[in-house]
């Protein structure tokens, strides 16, 4: 919180019973840690996220992904030159914003042989999920 807003926040929260605050980093299910979009963004901002785990998509692709669709070859703008199948990927839009986490469905060596409508990565979670989920 910026220092100029901390007094306002402190005043509003002084009567609240808050146990914790912070970034939702992910969850553990059946002993496996699942990283959240917020966690990926945190790692990216600290420059901890490797370049080999980033793909950028077109504007058309962004709309498709935010509807929960997988990532097809036709919407890829840039991708790692040494992509390995099953690698977790941070998906960026043209404004360099993280919009999804995906799992690579192919190795980079297979990319050239794919048809435009074939899947490059499986969409695991995207920012559109928050709008699509039942309240």
Tell me, what CATH number does 71's domain have? 2.30.130.10
Answer positive or negative: Cα dihedral of 77, 47, 96, 62: positive
Distance CA 17, CA 128 (A): 31
Residue 48 — pLDDT band, cuts 50, 70, 90? confident
- Count the Cβ atoms, other than its own, within 10 Å of residue 32: 7
Report the share of the chain in percent with pLDDT over 70.
96
Give the pLDDT of residue 11.
78
- Residue 26 belongs to what domain range? 3-132
* Average pLDDT rounded to a whole number, residues 57-68: 94
The answer to whether 120 touches 79, Cβ cutoff 8 Å, is: yes
- Select the more confidently predicted residue: 89 or 14: 89
- pLDDT, position 135: 53
Q: How far apart are CA 120 and CA 107, in angstroms?
A: 9
- Give the number of domains in the chain: 1
């Amino acid at each position: 919180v910026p220092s100029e807003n901390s007094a306002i926040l402190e005043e509003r929260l002084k009567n609240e019973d808050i146990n914790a605050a912070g970034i939702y980093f992910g969850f553990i299910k059946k002993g496996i840690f699942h990283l959240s979009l917020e966690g990926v963004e945190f790692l990216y901002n600290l420059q901890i996220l490797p370049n080999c785990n980033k793909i950028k998509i077109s504007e058309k692709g962004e709309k498709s992904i935010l509807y929960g669709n997988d990532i097809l070859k036709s919407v890829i703008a840039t991708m790692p030159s040494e992509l390995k199948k099953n690698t977790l990927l941070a998906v960026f839009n043209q404004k360099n914003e993280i919009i999804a986490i995906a799992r690579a469905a192919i190795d980079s060596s297979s990319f050239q042989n794919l048809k435009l409508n074939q899947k490059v990565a499986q969409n695991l979670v995207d920012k559109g999920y928050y709008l699509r989920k039942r309240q």
